[in-house]
């Protein structure tokens, strides 16, 4: 049976303390009436399953490790920020900076994600069922961003080694981001990611983008520009 916590009567601080407790019960937790509260289910370190029944505010499931957190609604800024492992799923839309600086794990957004989705991503896998806003994967260092819809301006600006897959239209590419060949290994990788996110899109309908690797190599001819 799920452990039930109602945020209409229990402060978020008490919820998070219960989720962090060394003797926290493994298995299912249900959080009722989040009503846009910030920092819900942050910093979980154990194999817990947390279902949040409603919309959340900033930084939900930030710093997640090992837990599976599902938001049955929309999420505010920075959902799964600095996530290390585990799975975070948003059944609705996500605001800006979803998955910011995240090092690992899987973030799934069933709807749209706003600006800077995956900013400075460091190894996380992000799958967005809808569209992403401008400057998504800005300074992405490692990991994969999959966009099943369209991408806004400056996709992959100042990208390092993160991989980007987009099914729809890309409004514009950022500095040093280029379209790359979609080889068999990438189709297999993408199929795996879509399956993990419970998506049924055809990997063959996506295009791949990555770094041209010109920004982070010193060139003496450009020394006056540094």
**How large is the average pLDDT for residues 89-104?**
98
d(CA 153, CA 115): 9
| Per-residue pLDDT tens over the stretch 12-51 | 999 999 999 877 766 799 999 999 999 999 999 999 999 9
| Per-residue pLDDT tens over the stretch 204-223 | 999 999 999 988 666 767 66
Compute the C-alpha angle 55/12/104, nearest 5°: 70
Question: Which position has the higher pLDDT, 216 or 163?
Answer: 163
Domains of the chain: residue spans and CATH? 3-225 (2.160.20.60)
Residue 181: pLDDT over 70: yes
pLDDT computed for residue 160 by the predictor:
95
pLDDT computed for residue 222 by the predictor:
62
Cβ atoms of residues 153 and 137 within 8 Å: no
Q: What value does the mean pLDDT of the chain take?
A: 95
Q: 169-175: list long-range contacts, CB under 8 Å, 24+ apart.
A: 170/207, 170/209, 171/134, 173/209, 174/135, 174/138, 175/215
Cβ atoms of residues 94 and 79 within 8 Å: yes
pLDDT band of 2, cuts 50, 70, 90: confident
């Amino acid at each position: 049976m799920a452990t039930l916590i109602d945020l209409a009567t229990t402060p978020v601080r008490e919820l998070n303390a219960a989720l962090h407790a060394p003797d926290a019960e493994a298995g299912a937790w249900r959080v009722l009436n989040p009503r846009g509260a910030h920092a819900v289910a942050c910093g979980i370190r154990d194999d817990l399953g947390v279902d949040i029944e409603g919309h959340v505010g900033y930084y939900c499931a930030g710093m997640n490790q090992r837990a599976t957190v599902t938001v049955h609604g929309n999420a505010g800024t920075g959902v799964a920020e600095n996530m290390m492992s585990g799975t975070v799923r948003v059944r609705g839309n996500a605001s800006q900076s979803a998955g910011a600086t995240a090092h690992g794990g899987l973030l799934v957004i069933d709807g749209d994600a706003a600006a800077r989705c995956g900013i400075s991503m460091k190894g996380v896998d992000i799958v967005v069922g809808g569209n992403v806003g401008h400057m998504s994967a800005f300074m992405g260092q490692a990991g994969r961003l999959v966009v099943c819809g369209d991408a806004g301006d400056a996709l992959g600006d100042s990208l390092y080694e993160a991989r980007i897959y987009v099914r729809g239209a890309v409004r514009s590419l950022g500095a040093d981001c280029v379209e790359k060949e979609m080889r068999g290994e990438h189709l297999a990788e993408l199929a795996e990611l879509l399956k993990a996110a419970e998506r049924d899109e055809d990997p063959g309908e996506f295009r791949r983008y990555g770094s041209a690797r010109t920004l982070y190599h010193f060139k003496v001819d450009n020394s006056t520009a540094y």
